[in-house]
Amino acid sequence: MSSPVNAEGAGEERVMDLSYDPPVAFRHALDQLHATVAAEVGADDFGPSDYLPGLTVLLQSMDYDPRFSERGRRAAWGMAVGVLRGRAQAVAAMKANPGFDARAVLAPVVITGVPRTGTTALHRLMAVDPRFQGLQTWLLDSPMPRPPMERWGDYPQYRKTVAALDAQYAAVPDAKAAHFRAAEEVHECCMLLRQSFVSNLWSCGWSAATYDAWWQCQSEAAAYRHFAKCVQLIGANDLDKRWLLKNPGHIEHLDLLFAVFPDARVIQTHRDPGKAVPSLVSLLMNMNGLMEPDRTQQRAENLLRREVAKWANAVRKCEAVRARHPGQVLDVVHADFHARPMETVEAIYRFIGMDIPEDTRAALLRRIDEKPELSRGVHRYSITDYGMTADEARAPFADYIARYDLLEMRA
């Protein structure tokens, strides 16, 4: 439905884009930001104005909260430009493809759970099945109807994503072991949700206490409406393929997910929070030194306490919503998936009402045997580096840990 365009795409890792000169004061640069994006996209339509309050608070926070290095200032501004560009490009593509949303997204399979509980491994394993469609990394920041795979290299958006990820891993090689991304592989819904500028992600890349305090008082309903339209847009050329989506943050907003996809089939993954949450903080801190070289230890300790509280609250909210949607959520314990991956996959396919053809089964088993997630090294971290013990991290999750028998005491 669409063809390659000349404007460069963003790629997920706009944190590495240092090509923009940042303003003297971010809080006074709202008009400059819009003008920069409009000039690149060739259009000044950013869709509904519900994104403006969050963007305004974000820019104010960027002046007040972090102690950016000069490189960090450039990178943060580049990220703001890239995400707003993605929103503008999504709106332009929707206008260029009338009728993209005429057909509802039926019974999408959605993987969610506290971060670092196996969501990515499960997502990429199931994505082997060609009957599914997903959100490829390169399309997340520049949404458009997904073109045929053999033509992706013709798109400047795709090439920019490849280059941005290469730069990311050249700067922080350890990030490959922690959470590898590739332009052609499926990635997370949060990259679309953040285009509404009401997103947990804006509190993760650098110190952002002002924005975080504002975000915790907001609804993400508008962000979910934008996200759902982008899913329809990206899948407009593949209407007969079932959607396979993934985003840890959905557990905190399961009510909003069901509001946009009422018949979704949700797979919720579970792991000992004393292992999962410090792993998340280690991942987030991989980039911290590039953005904010000072206060690293304080930032890590603050971030761990924030993430423990955030995700403990998320699992409580999730349980309440699940009770109103019986039969729509399947539980997968990380230890079971790790020990018996094919049995777990078979249970998921029964839950979503799909068979596993022999060629698909062979492809699934091949990926399980290859263990690609381990091929780029081992992600090593210690919770004690962040001023907390595993038992302290587990305490707010006590009921959750007991419900799913998640306690892991091995070294």
CB distance 85 to 41 below 8 Å: yes
> What are the DSSP calls for 2-48, one per residue?
----SSPP--S-GGG---SPPPS-GGG-HHHHHHHHHHHHT-----S
Helix axis angle for 70-96 and 221-234, nearest 10°, is 60
163: confidence class by pLDDT, cuts 50, 70, 90: confident
| One-letter amino acid of 101 | D
Summarize the confidence of residues 77-105 as an average pLDDT. 96
What's the pLDDT at 157?
Answer: 83
Query: Which of 57-61, 183-187, 333-337 shows the lowest per-residue confidence on average (mean pLDDT)?
Result: 183-187
Q: Output the CA angle 69-72-78, nearest 5 degrees.
A: 150
Summarize the confidence of residues 299-312 as an average pLDDT. 95
**Which among 261, 301, 247, 266 is positioned nearest to 117, based on CA atoms?**
247
pLDDT greater than 50 at residue 6: no
Summarize the confidence of residues 168-195 as an average pLDDT. 74
Summarize the confidence of residues 211-238 as an average pLDDT. 97
User: In the CATH scheme, what is the code of domain 14-404?
Assistant: 3.40.50.300
Summarize the confidence of residues 107-111 as an average pLDDT. 98
pLDDT greater than 70 at residue 208: yes
Kindly provide the residue ranges of all beta strands, DSSP E only, lying in 46-205, ordered along the sequence.
Answer: 109-113, 132-133
pLDDT tens digits, 237-274: 999 999 999 999 999 999 999 999 999 999 999 999 99
pLDDT greater than 60 at residue 70: yes
pLDDT tens digits, 357-396: 999 999 999 999 998 766 555 667 788 888 899 999 999 9
What's the pLDDT at 32?
Answer: 98
190: confidence class by pLDDT, cuts 50, 70, 90: very high
Question: Is the model's pTM score more than 0.85?
Answer: yes
The ranges assigned to domains in the chain are 14-404
The tokens of 152 are what?
Answer: 């992706």
pLDDT greater than 70 at residue 46: yes
Summarize the confidence of residues 19-42 as an average pLDDT. 96
CB distance 199 to 193 below 8 Å: yes
User: What average pLDDT is seen over the chain?
Assistant: 90
Summarize the confidence of residues 51-73 as an average pLDDT. 96
**Which among 170, 159, 105 is positioned nearest to 133, based on CA atoms?**
105
Q: Write the CB contacts of 403 (distance below 8 Å, at least 6 apart in sequence).
A: none
**Which among 381, 386, 200, 383 is positioned nearest to 299, based on CA atoms?**
386
Query: Which of 7-11, 55-59, 301-305 shows the lowest per-residue confidence on average (mean pLDDT)?
Result: 7-11
CA distance 334 to 378: 17
CA distance 166 to 175: 11
Which residue reads 């590039």 in tokens?
290
CB distance 18 to 71 below 8 Å: yes
Q: Output the CA angle 141-145-151, nearest 5 degrees.
A: 90
2: confidence class by pLDDT, cuts 50, 70, 90: very low
- Dihedrals φ, ψ of 110, to 5°? -125, 120
- Helix (H) / strand (E) element for 268: namely strand 265-270
What's the pLDDT at 25?
Answer: 98
% of the chain surpassing 90 pLDDT = 77
% of the chain surpassing 70 pLDDT = 90
Please provide the distance, in angstroms rounded to a whole number, between the alpha carbons at the two ends of the chain.
Answer: 52
CB distance 406 to 269 below 8 Å: no
- Strands 265-270, 132-133: pairing is unpaired
